Amino acid sequence: MSPKKRAIYSAVLAVLLVALAYQYRGLLVPRGGEELADPLAGLDEKLRAMAELPRIEVEKAAAGWRYVKARNPFEYGEDPAMAELRRRRERERKRQQAELERKRQEAEQARREAQAKAPPPPPPAPRPPDFGYEYIGRVTVLGNPQRYVAILNKKGAGSGKRIDKENLRHVVAGEIIDDQFVIEKIDLDSIVIGFTDPRFSGQTKTLQLVPSRSKG
Lowest mean pLDDT across 14-18, 29-33, 103-107, 183-187: 29-33
Q: Which H helix or E strand runs over 85? A: helix 80-117
Angstrom distance (rounded) from CA 28 to CA 22 = 10
Q: From edge to edge, which strands make up the β-sheet containing 181-186?
A: 176-177, 181-186, 190-195, 205-208
Are the beta carbons of 20 and 53 closer than 8 angstroms?
yes
- With 0.85 as the threshold, say if the pTM is over it: no
pLDDT at 4 over 90: no
Q: Report the pLDDT value the prediction gives residue 100, as an integer from 0 to 100.
A: 95
CA angle 121, 122, 124 (to 5 degrees): 115
From residue 111, how far is each of 101, 103, 108, 120, 148 by CA, in Å?
15, 12, 5, 15, 60
Q: What percent of the chain has pLDDT over 70?
A: 67
Arithmetic mean of pLDDT over the chain:
79
Contact 175, 194 (CB under 8 A): no
Tell me the per-residue pLDDT of 157-188, one tens digit each, with 9 for 90 and over. 654 556 778 889 999 999 999 999 999 999 98
pLDDT above 90 coverage of the chain, percent: 39
Mean pLDDT of 69-81: 68
Residue type, 120: P
Measure the CA angle with vertex 208, ends 179 and 129; round to 5°: 30
Contact 29, 35 (CB under 8 A): no
| Alpha-carbon span 170 to 30, nearest angstrom | 154
* Residue 171 bridge partners (DSSP): 150
What pLDDT score does 130 carry? 93
Domain residue spans in the chain?
A: 1-78, 133-208
pLDDT at 159: 47
pLDDT of amino acid 178: 92
Q: Does the structure show a pLDDT above 70 at 202?
A: yes
Record: fold of 133-208: SH3 type barrels. (2.30.30)
Residue 69's pLDDT is 57
Q: Which amino acid is at 173?
A: A
pLDDT digits (tens, 9 = 90+) for 85-131: 999 999 999 999 999 999 999 999 999 999 888 888 888 989 999 99
Lowest mean pLDDT, pick from 182-186, 193-197, 212-216: 212-216
Q: What confidence score (pLDDT) does residue 19 get?
A: 73
